[in-house]
Amino acid sequence: MVTRAVFLDRDGVLNANIERGGRPVAPWRLKDYEILPGVPEAISALKRAGFVTVVVTNQPDIATGRSTRAILDAMHDKLLRYVAIDDIRVCPHVDGDACACRKPKPGMLLEAAADHAIVLDRSWLVGDRWRDIAAGHAAGCRSILVGDWDGDVPAGMRPAHARTKSLPEAVAVILREDHLQAAG
């Protein structure tokens, strides 16, 4: 049996972003952390189809001091109470740290793939930023861009394989493609 995964960005995919300075950003406080509608059901559908679900999230607010590891852990505890996630990987660094885990680098995906024996070319990444999609490409996954925020996409970047408005729509694409691949 091939182990397939769906790697999931957190903010803007599983939980709502908040707006600061006219742009969507991660919540800093637990009281602002809200799981988006349809997320628990979408993840359950992936699990029924045999996918491992792994959150891969950049959380630079830890490095900058805007939030704390304790708040982040409380947010993840809340997520795990409502959503059947198999693993959560966090990069607490900023770009200047030049770590291997901060998306668009694929470090979190590669580590999770090694730990769970995941076949990357049979897996997906779902994210709401170009960094997510680039990390998926770098790891060899197919990718889906969720939402309508593009930000500053680097010139020449390969687009996502699909684009949807929400995680439930992304899961429908994944399950349809998975069914077609199994039938073909």
Tens-place pLDDT, residues 43-68: 999 999 999 999 999 999 999 999 99
- State pTM to two decimals: 0.95
**Which member of 9, 61, 128, 132 is catalytic?**
9
**Residue pLDDT, tens place only, 59-117:** 999 999 999 999 999 999 999 999 999 999 999 999 999 999 999 999 999 999 999 99
In CATH terms, is domain 4-183 a member of 3.40.50.2300?
Answer: no
Type and span of the H or E element at 126: strand 124-127
11 is catalytic: yes
* 173-182 contacts at long range (C-beta below 8 A, 24 or more positions apart): 173/144, 174/6, 174/46, 174/51, 174/124, 174/126, 174/144, 175/45, 175/46, 175/49, 177/142, 178/4, 178/49
Per the residue annotation, which of 11, 61, 128, 178 is the catalytic one?
A: 11
Q: Where are the domains of the chain?
A: 4-183
